[in-house]
Amino acid sequence: MGPPTSPWVPCGSAWPTRTARPPSCAPSRAAAPRYGLGPPPPRSTSRGVTISSGESPVRCFIGIPVPVDEGAVRELKARIVDVTPGWRDEKWVPTPNLHVTLAFLGDVDDDRLDVVESAIDEAMSSSRQFTLVPTSIEPRPSASRASMLWMAYDDPDGGCSELASSLSVPLERAGFTFERRRFVPHLTLVRARKRRRGPRLDCTAAERARFGVSDPVVSLYSSRLSPGGASYTRLRSWESGGVPPARG
């Protein structure tokens, strides 16, 4: 299983890249309050990721976890496979990994995780609560040659798109660059080993209720690839709405 899907619809430009951060652009750790869910782990654990001296950077992204039970996922998979049986044995995203990507950061050095967290602190301090409503199952990039199926979401009041945009400001100031693309909130369900025809299905009322997201948590994830697929670790989480959660 590959890296998380970019939430931005391409406009013919290259994949987002990371450039060197000018020293003068470094945000101060004291400039923004922490809005994390509980205190961060000690630095010695690298936010839950063990990185020894000289080890490769960690691939990171910012996303909204979608808490859904296994039964709901099984029922959705059965409905998709009933229409297009060829997707049965493709690479389905494990239920605990289901998320809506807000920003893909690429490889991040361990000593820059604090910079990333400060940028998220800044964006989350002014964020507002919002709701995401599932609308359809869609083949991407096209129905005839789909490499994945995702669940598209409606962002009724624009809160999710607003958050994705506000995250890009401090992250770009910290040295990350992102292509200017139209943000499309979605949840990747399955990836194909080879491109194949994919279905487009409207979400049922049950799926809208089970996969919907209200007042979401935002998490900074690390992603590690292995022969068995991608393994995601939540390094730290924030509540939406700009209200510091209770600690202790």
pTM for the whole structure: 0.75
Q: What are the pLDDT digits (tens) for 101-160?
A: 999 999 999 889 999 999 999 999 888 899 999 999 999 999 999 999 999 999 999 999
Looking at per-residue confidence, does 221 or 177 come out higher? 221
Please report, in angstroms and rounded to a whole number, the separation of the first and last CA atoms in the chain.
36
Cα–Cα distances (Å) from 183 to 79, 158, 164, 171, 176, in that order, read 27, 11, 8, 16, 17
Q: Which CATH class is domain 35-40+57-239?
A: alpha beta
